[in-house]
């Protein structure tokens, strides 16, 4: 009788290579844009989540509040973010991403997008649904793992 269990050993062999390539891509993208990986991550967080307080950005990046202030200063000096008053509580300052001619993130991500589009085009709709489900469930799993790691520090 044949087992219907997935071959987790096969995943264990290929998945670390995948993660390593994703991390390397992030590092190369940040370098191509002339910024550090944490700065690039912060820009991604702002792009995905919208305006954040510096405290919220500190939590997401794992930086101290002082280091986060310096990160925001660097991004602001490059014209990538601006500080704005919170319209609901004028005592709070929010950080928001702004369009910049100096950093073309789309161009930096273009090779990966092009290569991945070619791969995704080879999948049928059911396979794409499985990938979408994986990405949707894996992102919170990674965030939870980050929290576990940080609590252990």
Which pLDDT score is estimated for 99? 85
Is 92 among the domain residues?
yes
- 124: in domain: no
In a domain, 53, yes or no: yes
Is 20 domain-assigned? Answer: yes
The verdict on residue 75 lying in a domain is yes
For 33, the domain range is 8-100
CATH of residue 87: 1.10.10.10
- Alpha carbon separation from 130 to 115, 126, 127 (Å, rounded): 19, 6, 5
Domain assignment present for residue 79? The answer is yes
What is the structure's pLDDT at 104?
84
Whether residue 126 lies inside any domain: the answer is no
Give the predicted TM-score (pTM) of the model: 0.84
List the chain pLDDT tens, one digit each, 153 residues.
566 777 788 888 899 999 999 999 999 999 999 999 999 999 999 999 999 999 999 999 999 999 999 999 999 999 999 999 988 888 899 999 998 777 888 889 999 999 999 999 999 999 999 999 999 999 999 999 999 999 886
Structure tokens at 6: 């997935």
Q: Is residue 114 part of a domain?
A: no
Instruction: Tell me how many domains the chain contains.
Output: 1
By CB neighbour count within 10 A (0-12 exposed, 13-18 middle, 19+ buried), where does 108 fall? middle
Taking each helix axis from N to C end, the angle separating 65-77 and 54-61, rounded to the nearest 10 degrees, works out to 110
pLDDT at 152: 87
């Amino acid at each position: 009788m044949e087992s219907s269990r997935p071959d987790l050993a096969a995943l264990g062999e290929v998945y670390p290579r995948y993660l390593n390539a994703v991390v390397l891509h992030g590092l190369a993208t940040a370098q191509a844009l002339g910024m550090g990986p944490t700065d690039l991550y912060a820009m991604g967080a702002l792009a995905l989540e919208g305006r954040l307080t510096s405290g919220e950005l500190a939590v997401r990046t794992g930086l101290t509040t002082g280091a986060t202030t310096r990160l925001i200063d660097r991004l602001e000096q490059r014209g990538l973010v601006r500080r704005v008053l919170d319209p609901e509580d004028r005592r709070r300052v929010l950080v928001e991403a702004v369009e910049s001619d100096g950093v073309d993130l789309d161009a930096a991500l273009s090779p990966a997008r092009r290569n991945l589009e070619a791969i995704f085009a080879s999948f049928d709709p059911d396979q794409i649904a499985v990938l979408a489900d994986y990405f949707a469930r894996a992102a919170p799993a990674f965030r939870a793992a980050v929290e576990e790691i940080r609590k252990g520090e």
